[in-house]
Amino acid sequence: MPEKSQKDAERSEALEMNPWHQAMEQLDRAGSKMNMEPFVLERLRHCKRILTVSVPVKMDDGSISVFEGYRIQHNLDRGPAKGGIRYHPQVSLDEVKALSFWMTMKCAVVNLPYGGAKGGVICDPKKMSIGEIERLTRRYTSEISILLGPDRDIPAPDVNTNEQIMAWIMDTYSMTVGYSCPGVVTGKPIEAGGSLGRKEATGRGVFYVTRELSNIRGFDLRKAPVAIQGFGNVGANAAKIFAEHGCKVVGISDVGGGLYDAKGLDIDDIMAYRQTHESIAKYPRAEHVPVEHFVEVPCEVLIPAAMENTITHENASKVKAKFVIEGANGPTTNRADRVLEERGVLVIPDILANAGGVTVSYFEWVQDIQAYFWSEKDINARLQDIIVRAFREVYEVAQRERVDMRLAAFMVGLNRLAKAVRIRGTFP
Ligand code: NAD
């Protein structure tokens, strides 16, 4: 390849893998389709607040390591900031910016009274002890506490963070203000003011979306083989809930490798195996699939529930599924989207498909503020109501405007957001 075209190819590859660039392309696409006023789009092209913090942590061997962390509030026009906290070696400012923007859009699509935020720390929790993770969490919380508060900014779990970490965040914030403040974070353990159903909520929302899709499209979900990439909070709970509803989960993977069985995997058995093993990759009672080829396994419904950019223009042509339901945030690049669309694969976008998590986070926050807790039956029924309503609204826009579901979801979210931006006006 001549040097110039080689450079162009590398540049377009880099942009394809940059989540902020992807997110802004998605915004522009919706903005131009809707003829949106430039000032609204300009507001959304900027994050309202970006905080970078250094997080010194005393390690077990007595040394001090300094980690870099971020908390970004993308937009607060529809309410306080809401969004998870990620611990991962590949966390970057552009990634956190994109994730905070997608939170703004997601809360608007499902109509929750929140703005969007996200946080992250560049670290590898797999190489840290529990004590080191606790000290990292408490110091990071203290560093970003100038932004936090139940009516200001409410974090939640994301990749490599969990209920225990949320409890430390709640405790650290409470120690700082001098009283117990459960509403400052969601995804907490029940004992510390958490909500029933929160742990399973994102996976459950993915299931409700897929079931509604099967109702509208008229296919039998119990006969449609499902493959799920990622076996963490979203992926493992989705697998469990699909299996509980009689669906056949034929593929499942984590960062170490993938499993496949055309007759259906025994999810309970894999969950039990996971209790005593770091990864499911060597689980003995299934075929093994290399991680980089997992999205190509034979299935009808593919649920990427791991990280960004796992479906790219390079592997999109090998996806066998008819439906891609985005459990993860940003798993399909924009170039891959075009390839899938040309091949007639329907993608249900992240800002709709995985909104079950933030929806039950919202319920948890409401319960904390009222100090009155609901039954799990109530929570799941309300979750279903919100997710199905949002799905139908987006589907209806997609049909009416003859656009794909991602563009339709952006149009629904942007429309709601633009109304708030316009009516609040520009201060001063
Ligand atoms: P998690 O840390 O609980 O699990 C992540 C899983 O992905 C792990 O099983 C890990 O091994 C696997 N993984 C990582 N890289 C992989 C790869 N290349 N191939 C296959 N598997 C890989 O994280 P989570 O909370 O389940 O989040 C997963 C995704 O869902 C993220 O994109 C996150 O932003 C999104 N999300 C999470 C929530 C939530 O409530 N936790 C809500 C909405 C969206």
Q: Is 372 exposed, middle or buried (0-12, 13-18, 19+ CB in 10 A)?
A: exposed
What is the second-level CATH architecture of the domain 45-179?
Answer: 3-Layer(aba) Sandwich (3.40)
Residues with CB under 6 A from ligand 1: 157-160, 202, 229-235, 253-255, 291, 305-307, 310, 327-329, 354, 357
Which one-letter DSSP state was computed for residue 263? T
Residues present in the chain in total? 428
Give the Å distance between the CA of 43 and the centre of ligand 1. Answer: 29
Give the Å distance between the CA of 328 and the centre of ligand 1. Answer: 6
Q: Which of 38, 123, 43, 49 is nearest to 81 (CA)?
A: 49
Is 45-179's fold the same as 201-353's?
yes
> Phi, psi (5° rounding) for residue 250?
-95, -20
Q: How far is 301 from 78, CA to CA, in rounded Å?
A: 33
> Phi, psi (5° rounding) for residue 121?
-130, 130
CA-proximal residue: ligand 1, atom 36 (nearest): 328
Q: What is the pLDDT of residue 5?
A: 84
Give the Å distance between the CA of 230 and the centre of ligand 1. Answer: 6
Of 106, 118, 199, 248, which is the active-site residue?
Answer: 118
Could you state, in order of their start, the residue ranges of all structural domains in the chain?
45-179, 201-353
259 close to 265: Cβ distance less than 8 angstroms:
yes
Atom of ligand 1 nearest to the CA of 161: 2
Atom of ligand 1 nearest to the CA of 156: 40
Residue 254 pairs with which residues in a beta bridge?
A: 257
Q: Is 57 left (phi over 0), alpha (psi -120 to 50) or beta?
A: beta
CA-proximal residue: ligand 1, atom 30 (nearest): 328
- Residue 49, token pair as written in the block: 């607040």
C-alpha to C-alpha distances, 416 to 72, 74, 106, 207, 344, nearest whole angstrom: 21, 16, 11, 25, 29
Which of 118, 161, 254 to probe ligand 1 with, by most ligand atoms within 8 A of CB?
254
Atom of ligand 1 nearest to the CA of 327: 30
Q: How far is 350 from 352, CA to CA, in rounded Å?
A: 5
C-alpha to C-alpha distances, 101 to 105, 332, 426, nearest whole angstrom: 6, 16, 20
Atom of ligand 1 nearest to the CA of 99: 34
Fold of 201-353: Rossmann fold (3.40.50)
Per-residue pLDDT of the chain (428 residues), as tens digits, is 677 788 888 888 899 999 999 999 999 999 999 999 999 999 999 999 999 999 999 999 999 999 999 999 999 999 999 999 999 999 999 999 999 999 999 999 999 999 999 999 999 999 999 999 999 999 999 999 999 999 999 999 999 999 999 999 999 999 999 999 999 999 999 999 999 999 999 999 999 999 999 999 999 999 999 999 999 999 999 999 999 999 999 999 999 999 999 999 999 999 999 999 999 999 999 999 999 999 999 999 999 999 999 999 999 999 999 999 999 999 999 999 999 999 999 999 999 999 999 999 999 999 999 999 999 999 999 999 999 999 999 999 999 999 999 999 999 999 999 999 999 999 99
Q: How far is 313 from 54, CA to CA, in rounded Å?
A: 36
Place of tokens 């377009």: 12
Q: What is the pLDDT of residue 12?
A: 87
Mark whether 118 is an active-site residue: yes
Give the Å distance between the CA of 305 and the centre of ligand 1. Answer: 5
Which of 22, 208, 241, 307 to probe ligand 1 with, by most ligand atoms within 8 A of CB?
307
